[in-house]
Copies of this chain bind each other. A is one copy, B any other.
Amino acid sequence: MVRAQRACRAFAPDDVDDDIVLEVLRAATFAPSAENRQPWEFVVVRDPDARQVIGDVTARAWAGGGRAYSESRLAPELLADVDAGATGGIAAAPVLVVVCGDHQRGNANAMASSIFPAVQNLMLAAGALGLGSALTTMPTAMRAELAALLGLPEHVVPMAVIPLGRPAKPLGPPRRDPVEQHVHHDRYGKTRQ
């Protein structure tokens, strides 16, 4: 699955079984975390109104700066895809998983390194089970709105929103630089041993 992962930002309306979601989240919990503190909390959002609010938050973050920032940086095709995702595509997924870090269990310095490996496990498991997903962090910029919507206590901080659902269309292959371009041997810039 590793080499087939691609962000999915357009979803079919078909529902996803609770058992499948739980399986995907279980895979997430097998990621490493600092001191094995397992500081993750997953809010599975299915309620249409709540998904709509998250969609609005996302669209607002995108319109209020995200798009302007990305416009000149993204290839036109990718920009169009992100655009469609941010303005409704992602919120249309039947399930949005809001991945949070619990600061009573985990240390702030180690929070990102403890949460994003779990997020990656989550997405790999989703792919293995035929689901599309995407790693979005934009809505977390609107922490207060998400906290109010989901009833998050102060110490539980949203870090990513992952849509899950059946892809609306086939996802193409991911585009990556050849790994050799980013590998150094013993010293930066030393590309061969």
| Residues of A participating in the B interface, judged by any CB pair closer than 8 Å | 2-3, 5, 7, 18, 22, 25-32, 34-36, 38, 40-47, 50, 70, 73-74, 78, 110, 112-113, 115-117, 119-121, 123-125, 134-135, 137, 150-153, 156, 159-160, 174-177, 179-180, 182-189, 193
A190 to B: closest C-beta gap in Å: 8
Query: Which single residue of chain B is at the shortest CB-CB distance from A159?
Result: B113
Contacts of A174 in B (CB 8 A): 30
Number of copies: 2
* Bound complex: CA A186 to CA B117 (Å): 23
A123 to B: closest C-beta gap in Å: 7
A155 to B: closest C-beta gap in Å: 11
Please tell me if the beta carbons of B50 and A186 are within 8 angstroms of each other in the complex: yes
Candidates B32, B34, B182; contact of A38 at CB < 8 Å: B182
A8 to B: closest C-beta gap in Å: 11
Please tell me if the beta carbons of A182 and B41 are within 8 angstroms of each other in the complex: yes
Shortest Cβ-Cβ A-B pairs, 6 listed = A116-B116, A112-B112, A117-B120, A120-B120, A26-B179, A151-B187
